[in-house]
Each structure stands twice: as structure tokens, then as C-alpha cells.
Amino acid sequence: MAKKDRHVSETPATQQLRAAGVEFTEHVYDYVEHGGTAESARQLGWPEHAVVKTLVMQNERAEPLIVLMHGDRQVSTKNLARAIGAKAVEPCKPDVAQRHSGYLVGGTSPFGTRKAMPVYVEQGVMALERILVNGGRRGYLVGIAPQVLVQHLGAQPVSCAI
């Protein structure tokens, strides 16, 4: 059973959110290797569509970027590349993603990343009332209003879900 009210020690993500005065809720669950958003949604009783995954990708020049996608959808790299004016986009290998973000894969937050990267958010995410996004540690999500992504990360809405 998920331990919804358990506080997790600060992460770079929660430090950035607190410093910016962003209101957020903490959601702790038992991390399952390769469980993804389906597992966290199940444990926390949230619709997977509102659990947003943080994906570190790169363009054809190996420049990193972050894509925020509904947990129950995939990224069309072709549509994403077209939307951001890149020739191609592909997921970073886990060690490269970790080097860019400073987070372990499975615990990657769009907040408090080691390297500043452009952030793109699937436009459907912006229509949701509240979302869960990784809080910077495996088994730890934070609940925020999706507008926080635009206001504090400069996230640009794109249409790239499949």
C-alpha cells in the first residue's frame, strides 16, 4: 500500500519548487523496476493519464531536451522533431540522461536538473486539473497544477502523443 503522507527528504526538484513558492503535494509509492507510470498510478489511485513521465531526449546534434508526456501515451519522435524544428529526436541512453539531468532513470524530475534543458510538454497535459510528476527520486512523485510547468520551467506545449 502506498504511503501517501510520508515525507521524503529534499531533492533538487523539491528545493526548486519550494524556492519558487510552488504549492505541491508529496506522493510516495513502492518503486518497482520497469513498473513505470502504470505501477505508480495503480499504487496511488491516480489515472495513468495524469501521471506525467519525464523523458530526456536529444536532437540530431546530441543537444538534450526534456519531454513531459502522459503516462499512458508514447512520444512520436517524428512529430516532436517537426514541432520543435529539429531534424530528428531520440531518447538518450540511460547514462547520458543521468549525466544531463543529475537524476537516476526512474527518478528523473523536470525540476532541479543538473543542466538547463529546453522543456516540451504534451499539450493535453495542460488541460488536466492536477498532475503527478517525478519529485527527483524513485518512488516519489509531486502533485502540481500543470501551469507550473510553463510558469517555472518555460515548458512549451507541443502535440506529439501517440
* DSSP-derived pairing of the beta strands 25-28 and 64-70: unpaired
Q: What does the pLDDT look like over 42-62, one tens digit per residue?
A: 999 999 999 999 999 999 999
**Which one, of 141, 146, 109, 149, lies nearest residue 130 by Cα?**
146
CATH number at 49 reads: 3.90.960.10
Residue 7 lies in a domain: no
How far is 78 from 88, CA to CA, in rounded Å?
Answer: 7
The model's pLDDT over 111-127, given as tens digits with 9 standing for 90+, comes to: 999 999 999 999 999 99
Residues in the chain: 162
What is the domain count for the chain?
1
Considering the entire predicted model, what is its pTM? 0.93
Provide the residue range defining the domain that includes 84: 12-158
